[in-house]
Amino acid sequence: MVNAFIRDIPEELIREFLSYVLYRDRASFDSAAFAMPRTFTRNPPKRQDVDASTLLVCKQWHRIGMPLLYESVFISNMAQLKTLAATLQERPDIGPKIRRLRLKDAFGRDLPAVLSLTPNIHTLSVCTKISSRTSITGLRALLKTSVVNIAPTRLMIEPPFHWRRSSVVQENMAECLIALVSNWPDVVS
């Protein structure tokens, strides 16, 4: 009975409903709150679990909701970067759906693979508050390859970089970003 009811709902209404749960507009992506899970009073579910469970209602909801789920992606560690790279290689249809990408402590060797499979990124957010142990091999590799075909129009650097209080890794990161930005003619920060 329920499945028949769900199938009768027009796809436009399902997309509208799912957009409230899955879609991140520019303002929410730009805010620091996007990176933080919502707070709940008891047994807080993780935000991504809530998003993902919505897509399990039926195949129709999954098909309609996937582009909304992947439009804004926040990667906060190397394990997530590696998982995203594997997902994009297994499912090449997902990469073009990613429009906004926020990276924090995720600049390792899988970064070129992720960026080469996400040609439609228009907003790239980079967190420069990293430890001296953070690997930036992926950023360095981007300078040596022409495979990466992104050309973002917005670059967000958080927090603003301070040369006087930076570590060697942060300075190397800044130099890599400066070199990359020179290849993006339409970027504004």
Specify the pLDDT at position 43.
40
Omega into 159 within 30° of 0, i.e. cis?
yes
Specify the pLDDT at position 57.
82
Tokens of 47: 């935000």
CB 99 within 8 A of CB 150: no
CB 98 within 8 A of CB 69: no
Give the mean pLDDT of 150-175.
Answer: 78
pTM: 0.78
- The mean of the pLDDT values for the chain is 79
Instruction: Find where tokens 């789920």 sit.
Output: 69
For the stretch 109-138, pLDDT in tens is 999 999 999 999 999 988 888 877 788 888
**Residue 189: strand, helix, or coil:** coil
With cut-offs at 50, 70 and 90, classify the pLDDT of residue 164.
low
Alpha-carbon gap, residue 85 to 91, rounded angstroms: 10
Alpha-carbon gap, residue 17 to 123, rounded angstroms: 25
Omega into 92 within 30° of 0, i.e. cis?
no
Tokens of 2: 């329920």
Specify the pLDDT at position 17.
85
Give the mean pLDDT of 132-145.
Answer: 82
Does residue 142 carry a pLDDT above 60? yes
For the stretch 33-89, pLDDT in tens is 445 443 333 343 444 455 668 888 888 888 888 888 888 898 988 999 999 999 999
